[in-house]
């Protein structure tokens, strides 16, 4: 049996895709191993959303190719978004790579691995249909399972490479999703996160996202239902009703904002204004008590003036997200912004704006978490937390809002416990088990 080691970069979609690749290879007779040293096949599942990730992956691939001294027949492959993005130039930039494969080609992976070739093998066909039905991903043993319900994206935000590397939007039929969720709950998973690039634009011809959530909510044994990432312009009244009515839906949403300036949102082709976003948040908060909101912000996109950026700060200050992922804009080849808009915000200004929005958000995250001190929250236990040197052993899990909660009592993974919060940082809540 050949052994394969898979390393994953980027978003949860990629984590889920690596689990899919593991399943495809296991069916083809491979053994999945957790470290690269003894592997005969090494696969890097990569991300292309922002620039620096790519340099890092090439560096890592070069380093791993050094293992050929030990395993002369080592096959080294690059999968995923960056493979798709850099297809043509990758064999020259990284000649030590044997295989380059985009995200719609994984069913052919065993076939390509069986071929031996002098040149790098490429498989970059994007497939409008491929949704990997019938393959049950090999999931890390755990508490939360990712279930990919749609692939690709049709929105074409002007800064974003995703529609180019992941292709057109397609939804997995609801019956297949329900089959997977039933298998998962039977295996003991209590939490499921439905995944898609714009997960709430899901539609399989019969069921929309609201209908799918209601059906998944009926599956026996499911305690918590999450999904990511919804697009702000794809919320329907039916969806908001479903979120409010399905008991397992968790009160935590990731709702990418990107900018607080209407001019910038227009340049980004996001499909909403600041006022529409604000109104959506107000409605969600009214219907979903205790809702935690997280977001994505881009600083220094093409044309962003100081005033535009100030509007982002104002909106971030007004909405008060629980936390945010914040990035400097980096142009991605092939996108509308790269071709037609000038990357005119100086690097130093981008850096400075990013620092300003991070500082604002960190303060808000800290303040919101302090309000939870003294409260008792329900925690789904994931396991022992990473220990720093000399620290006593602690355990962690997540609150319904999706916040990490650390406590010192040993509790088995998958248990639901009540934790009394005693202190909080911007990113973590600390407490002790409440007396039952």
Binding site for ligand SF4 (CB under 6 A): 153, 155-157, 160, 162-163, 197-198, 231
Shortest distance in whole angstroms from residue 154 CB to ligand 5AD: 16
Q: Which does 329 bind (CB under 5 to 8 A by kind): ligand 5AD, ligand SF4, none?
A: ligand 5AD
Q: Scan residues 274-303 and list those touching ligand 5AD (CB under 6 A).
A: 296, 298
- The burial of 308, by beta-carbon neighbours within 10 Å (0-12 exposed, 13-18 middle, 19 or more buried), is given as buried
On whether the CB atoms of residues 214 and 194 are closer than 8 A, the answer is no
The tokens of 197 are what? 């690039």
Shortest distance in whole angstroms from residue 163 CB to ligand SF4: 5
Q: Does 160 bind ligand 5AD (CB under 6 A)?
A: yes
**Location of structure tokens 């043993």:** 141
- Give the DSSP letter of residue 385: P
Q: Which does 296 bind (CB under 5 to 8 A by kind): ligand SF4, ligand 5AD, none?
A: ligand 5AD
Cβ nearer to ligand SF4, comparing 75 with 294: 294
Adjacency order of strands within the sheet including 252-254: 252-254, 292-299, 323-328
Site string for ligand 5AD, 110-149 (x = CB under 6 A): ----------------------------------------
Site string for ligand 5AD, 309-328 (x = CB under 6 A): ------------------x-
Q: Report d(CA 165, CA 46) in Å as an integer.
A: 11
Residue from 164, 209, 277, 329 touching ligand 5AD (CB under 6 A): that is 329
DSSP H helical ranges for 209-346: 209-217, 237-245, 262-267, 274-287, 306-319, 336-340
Q: Which does 156 bind (CB under 5 to 8 A by kind): ligand SF4, ligand 5AD, none?
A: ligand SF4
Q: Does 165 bind ligand 5AD (CB under 6 A)?
A: no
Q: Does 258 bind ligand 5AD (CB under 6 A)?
A: yes
Half-sphere exposure of 436 (CA within 13 A, CB side): 2
Coil, strand or helix: which one is 36? coil
The tokens of 91 are what? 């064999």
What is the β-pairing status of strands 376-384 and 395-398? antiparallel
Coil, strand or helix: which one is 302? coil
Q: Does 234 bind ligand 5AD (CB under 6 A)?
A: no
Q: Does 49 bind ligand 5AD (CB under 6 A)?
A: yes
Handedness of CA 11, 13, 16, 17 (dihedral sign): negative
On whether the CB atoms of residues 39 and 25 are closer than 8 A, the answer is no
Q: Which does 50 bind (CB under 5 to 8 A by kind): ligand 5AD, ligand SF4, none?
A: ligand 5AD
Interface contacts to ligand 5AD, rule CB under 6 A: 49-50, 159-160, 256, 258, 296, 298, 327, 329-330, 332
């Amino acid at each position: 049996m050949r052994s394969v080691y898979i390393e994953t970069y980027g978003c949860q979609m990629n984590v889920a895709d690596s689990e899919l690749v593991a399943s495809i290879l296991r069916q083809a007779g491979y053994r999945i191993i957790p470290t690269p040293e003894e592997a005969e096949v090494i696969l890097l599942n990569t991300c292309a959303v922002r620039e620096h990730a790519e340099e890092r992956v090439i560096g890592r691939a070069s380093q791993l190719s050094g293992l050929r001294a030990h395993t002369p027949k080592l096959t080294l492959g690059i999968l995923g978004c960056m493979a798709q993005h850099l297809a043509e130039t990758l064999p020259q930039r990284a000649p030590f790579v044997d295989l380059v494969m985009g995200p719609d080609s994984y069913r052919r992976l065993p076939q390509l691995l069986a071929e031996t070739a002098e040149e790098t093998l490429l498989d970059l066909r994007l497939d409008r249909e491929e949704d990997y039905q019938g393959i049950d991903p090999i999931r890390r043993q755990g508490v939360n399972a990712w279930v990919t319900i749609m692939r690709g994206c049709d929105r074409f935000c002007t800064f974003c490479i995703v529609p180019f590397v992941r292709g057109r939007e397609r939804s997995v039929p609801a019956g297949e999703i329900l089959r997977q969720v039933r298998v998962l709950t039977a295996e003991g998973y209590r939490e499921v996160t439905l995944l898609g690039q714009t997960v709430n634009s899901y539609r399989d011809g019969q069921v929309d996202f609201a209908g799918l959530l209601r059906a998944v909510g009926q599956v026996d044994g499911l305690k918590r239902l999450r999904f990511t990432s919804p697009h702000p312009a794809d919320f329907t009244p039916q969806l908001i009703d479903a979120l409010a009515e399905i008991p397992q839906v968790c009160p935590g949403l990731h709702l990418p904002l990107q900018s607080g300036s209407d001019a910038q949102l227009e340049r980004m082709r996001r499909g909403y204004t600041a006022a529409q976003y604000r109104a959506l948040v107000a409605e969600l908060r009214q219907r979903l008590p205790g809702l935690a909101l997280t977001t994505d912000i881009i600083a220094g996109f093409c044309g962003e003036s100081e005033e535009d950026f100030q509007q982002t700060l104002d909106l971030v200050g007004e909405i008060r997200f629980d936390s945010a992922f914040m990035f400097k804009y980096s142009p991605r080849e092939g996108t509308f912004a790269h071709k037609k808009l000038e990357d005119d915000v100086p690097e130093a200004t981008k850096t400075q704006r990013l620092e300003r929005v991070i500082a604002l958000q960190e303060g808000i995250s800290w303040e919101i978490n302090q309000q939870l001190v003294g409260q008792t929250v329900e925690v789904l236990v994931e396991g022992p937390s990473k220990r720093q040197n000399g620290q006593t052993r602690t355990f962690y899990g997540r609150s319904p809002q999706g916040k990490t909660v650390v406590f010192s009592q040993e509790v088995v993974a998958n248990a639901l416990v009540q934790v009394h919060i005693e202190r909080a940082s911007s990113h973590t809540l600390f407490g002790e088990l409440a007396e039952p």
